[in-house]
Structure 1
Amino acid sequence: MKQTNTLREKLLQLWVIFTPILITQLAMFSMTFFDIMMTGKYSANHLAGVAIGSSFWVPIFTGLSGILLSVTPIVAHLVGAKKKHEVPFSVIQGIYAGIAMALLVLLIGSIILMPLLNGMNLEDEVRHVAKFYLVSLAFGIIPLFVYNVLRCFMDALGKTRVTMIITLMSLPINVILNYILIFGKLGMPQMGGIGSGIASAITYWIITFIAIWIIHRKKPFVDYQVFHSFHKISLKKWKEIFTLGVPIGMSIFVETSIFSAVTLFMSKFGTKVIASHQAALNFASFIYMIPLSISMALTILVGFESGAKRFKDARSYSLLGIGGGVTISLVTGILLFIFRPEVAHLYSDDQAVIRLTSQFLLYAVFFQLSDAILAPIQGTLRGYKDVNVTFIMALISFWVIGLPLGYLLANKTEMGPFGFWLGLIIGLAIGAATLSYRLIIVQKRQFNLQKSEQ
């Protein structure tokens, strides 16, 4: 990364940082996308099982890995402040913290998984697939958390293209393993949705080893000598990581877990509704990778400029990112509205599932419009290391407003399962409005601080 002076230079640097992140996010998400899509082609029951398993896995993974996202602004601030020598220590402590969290998840999961699944109104085959899909993924959770820390380090240096290449290398491996293990090719037994979990776990190990090799051998990462020295666990550094990261992780957790809660509530509507809801949610999440990537790019750039106390430049990046997110979402929203039936057909050949999925996707159009504003603002605030209000507003907009309202609409009106989506859309819109106001306050505070120091 480098300091920019003109709007054109800023737009170019934002694009250079954003594009590889987007490709990386799409590729990473494609692993789940192909899990869902290929399992749906195998059977509706296996798709429902993966949907239930994902409803547990996604919020846990995204919430806890969100804590590790604190490594990005920490490293970006150190680089912006020209404190390069402090970077390796922060990265290693992030790895230690990631391993500790992964072990904790494995311990808790081994205790509560079966009681949770047994307490749900599921068909036996759906419950079986959900259980062993999660057990399979568990074997990849440690390397996945380690990779997230290493990716944050590489991205914070502005080298987002490297993580893009790593992920693109691993994607075809994941798809091939899915094909072999789900459908039982090359002499392997047919494992359906469970096979997709095994394929993902193997892929997580592969991308982690590739990242370690690159950081240890290739410039500019080798200059930081991350793995050249042994560092003891530092509770002080863990405190910094968790103080900044826990609000980030909790904010992401309350956003992703809301969909898990909705999926669990929808179990009363039957297997086809669960499968259709999961298919629509999966594609909506695929589109969400665009504003999410803008958010991650803004965290890097705003963190870099804020660390160097160039607050005017940080504000310019935030405006460019938010404006770009809204523009892109308008285009994707129109395309999704037009091609809803075709998208639904990607996930199933069952006509009832296709019809329901197409209806859910109509709500997804409006959902992603609010996301286009909310996500870039969240990324900007993280770049400023302002994370607590983001968590509080996410909690209120989704759990205090969105879910209760959705429950009422789903159970007290004729909307049925679609009421949950409308409730979440309203909650998301409220969250976008309140965080916009928060961003204005933070940026005014930064400008006032800069003026007082001049």
Structure 2
Amino acid sequence: MQESAPVHPFRAELSATLRLAGPLALANMLQMAVFAVDVIFVARLGQESLAASSLAVAIVAVLMMGLNGVTGAVAPLIAAEIGRRRNSVREVRRSARMALWLAVIIGVAAVAVCFTGEAIMLATGQDPRVAEISGGFIRVLSLALVPMAVANVLRTFVSALGRPVFATMITALAIAVNALGNYALVFGNLGMPALGLNGSAVASTITACVTVLAYVLAIQSDRALRRFHVFGRWWRPEWSRLRQMLALGLPIAATLIAEGGLFSGAAFLMGRVGEAELAAHTVALQIAAFAFQVPFGIGQAATIRVGYHFGAADKAAIGRAGWAAIAIGMAFVCLSALAMLVFPRTILSAYIDVSAPANAGLVALALQYLFVAAVFQLTDGLQAIAAGVLRGVQDTRVPAVIAIVGYWLAGFATSVALGLFTPLRGVGVWIGLAVGLTVAAALLLARWHWRGRFGLLPQAPRPVSAPVIHAVIA
């Protein structure tokens, strides 16, 4: 019988990355659908409520990015431990346990920040009435931060251990729970009180708690995951692992906060420009962020794939994993950019009634912002994946500096200049976003390309092949 031809290593890496990235990207998109449910229900309360919620979510999003950044260091650590195959069960458990510790400790601190939300909004020049409404909303919404951070750690754990489909299924469940919660609590259906805007925040908190419970049940019901005893002896500290996670995670948090802060800062700038511009910005940003979830998921998969090979000290495989992720991501963002350019009104209609005369001004502004979003799809996707592959080789400090320089010195400064001091107004703010993402993408890609020159690769290869690593996570 004739033997089948061997699969080219790069093609095999493409396939492995797609198998991991597919469920993660879908889970990310479903997570955006969870957030979109909130926007859809809140938008029906009026433009003032939508503007107030967008300001609160801008603050919560930055805090959540910081939380996910610090605890997200568990991904390259777990991947490298599996790649090394030395006491992987014990080492993976230690990493997951300390990530859960950080999720709770830093999450509580983030809740405290949210209770100063109204003061933050007033200090940035927001309308006092909108700031008051938003301040009450963010205090309720902050209760979701800790369970959301815990859920993110558990999601990373199951994904790195070869079960990313759990993330997809659980996030789909979260959509249903959040939709039901908003339906019942915002407008007082199903015998529940009509809480208005705060009802949406309560629904988000309930959804986050249900998500954590679902991950716990999934882990405990799966034999391959259960053997890690990730919830065992949760009170036992692993100080060296905690320090290692902070060393990797704090720069990741700085990177994500810098990027999230750029977009949240843009929301505050829009609040200065006008209420209509802020509402249009909120809708357009939801669409851009939804499309971004695919390259973001590919970047998450790249961190794990590159991390496996980094642990095995396979330099050639590290390169293949990184370039495979970048190739897949660029193929997708070209399609998403084309869709925004060709069908912008159709895409907008998923969020608002584009034919209603009352929405004419909002639609006109959102269409302008979507055009700019289509232009920066390429660099937005590229910077997300490049950051992901660099995390796989546990390089986080320099990318954090790149993020601050690109997003703030280049991007936000441009947004301020064009948005507040030129007739471009809201479009100028979005042009600044494009500038920041492009600068960051170019610098991150250059660092990955010259990874050997920067000393980011392991010193000597180990005799561990990619097929063995696949078997470990099967």
Amino acid at match of 2:80: H
The letter of the residue matching 1:422 is I
- Bigger mean CA offset, 213-222 vs 23-32: 213-222
CA distance in 1, matches of 2:28, 2:81: 25
- Could you say which residue in structure 2 is the equivalent of 1:411? 420
What is the distance in 1 between the residues matched to 2:16 and 2:300? 14
Residues 197-346 of structure 1: pairs in structure 2 closer than 5 A: 197-346=201-350
Q: Please report the TM-score for the alignment, with normalisation by the length of structure 1.
A: 0.94
Letter of the structure 2 residue corresponding to residue 105 of structure 1: A
Would the aligned equivalents of 2:312 and 2:462 in 1 still touch at CA under 8 Å? no
- Give 2:377's match in structure 1, choosing from 368, 374, 379: 368
1:94 aligns with 2:96: no
Aligned length: 449
Residue identity matched to 1:188: M
Measured after TM superposition, the shift of residue 299 of structure 1 is: 0.3
Aligned position for 1:449: 459
Counterpart AA for 1:169: L
2:443 is equivalent to residue 434 of structure 1: yes
**CA-to-aligned-CA distance 1:128-187 (integer Å, 9 cap, x gap):** 431232122222222111111111111111211112111112211111212222232223
Give yes or no for contact 1:71–1:90 (8 Å, CA) kept in 2.
yes
In structure 2, the partner of 1:33 is 36
Distance 1:231 1:367 in 2: 45
Look up the match of 1:62.
Answer: 65
Match for residue 377 of structure 1?
A: 386
**Shift of residue 124 of structure 1?**
5.4
For residue 120 of structure 1, report the CA deviation from its aligned partner.
Answer: 4.8
- 8 A Cα contact 1:315 1:443, kept in partner: no
Task: Name the counterpart of 1:126.
Answer: 130
User: Once the two structures are superposed, what CA deviation does each residue of 1:264-296 show, in whole Å capped at 9, x if it has no partner?
Assistant: 122222211111011111110111001101100
Counterpart residue type for residue 29 of structure 2: L
Structure 1 residues without counterparts, runs of 5 or longer: none
**CA distance, structure 2, for counterparts of residue 116 and residue 173 of structure 1:** 31
Structure 2 Cα separation of the partners of residues 51 and 448 of structure 1: 44
Does the 8 A contact of 2:118 with 2:134 survive in 1? no
Deviation (angstroms), 1:191: 3.2
78 and 377 in structure 1: CA distance in 2 versus 1, 3 angstrom threshold: same
Match for residue 46 of structure 2 among 43, 47, 50 = 43
SS in 2 for 1:66: helix
Structure 2 CA distance for partners of 1:385 and 1:448, relative to 1, 3 Å: closer
Q: What is the match of residue 139 of structure 1?
A: 143
Choose the corresponding residue for 1:399, options 404, 408, 411. 408
1:155 maps to 2:159: yes
Question: 1:305-339: CA deviations, max 9, x gaps?
Answer: 11011121121121111111111111111111112
Asked if 1:75 corresponds to 2:84, the answer is no
Equivalent pair of 2:313/2:461 in contact (CA under 8 Å): no
Deviation at 1:304? Answer: 0.5
- Going by fraction, where is helix more abundant, 1 or 2? 1
Contact 1:22 1:293 in 2 (8 A): yes
Cα distance change on mapping 1:165 and 1:93 into 2, 3 Å: same
The 2-side partners of 1:123 and 1:248 are apart by 33
- Partner Cα separation in structure 1 for residue 145 and residue 343 of structure 2: 35
Separation in structure 1 between the aligned mates of residue 153 and residue 84 of structure 2, nearest angstrom: 21
Q: Tell me the secondary structure at the aligned position of residue 349 of structure 2.
A: helix
Is the contact made by 2:66 and 2:256 (CA closer than 8 Å) also made in structure 1?
A: yes
Cα deviation for residue 123 of structure 1 reads: 4.6
Q: Which amino acid aligns with 1:141?
A: L
Change (3 A) 1:120 1:451: closer
Work out whether residues 35 and 193 of structure 1, in 8 Å CA contact, stay in contact via their aligned partners in 2.
Answer: no
Q: List alignment gaps of at least 5 residues for structure 2.
A: 1-6, 354-358, 464-474
Name whichever of 219-228 and 189-198 sits farther off: 189-198
C-alpha change, 1:204 and 1:452, in structure 2 (3 Å) is closer
Equivalence for 1:11:
14
Moved more, 282-291 or 167-176: 167-176
CA distance in 2, matches of 1:237, 1:231: 14
- CA deviations on 1:52-87 (whole Å, 9 max, x unpaired) are 111111011112211111001111111111132221
1:105 equivalent in structure 2:
110
| CA shift in 2, pair 1:447/1:105, >3 Å | closer
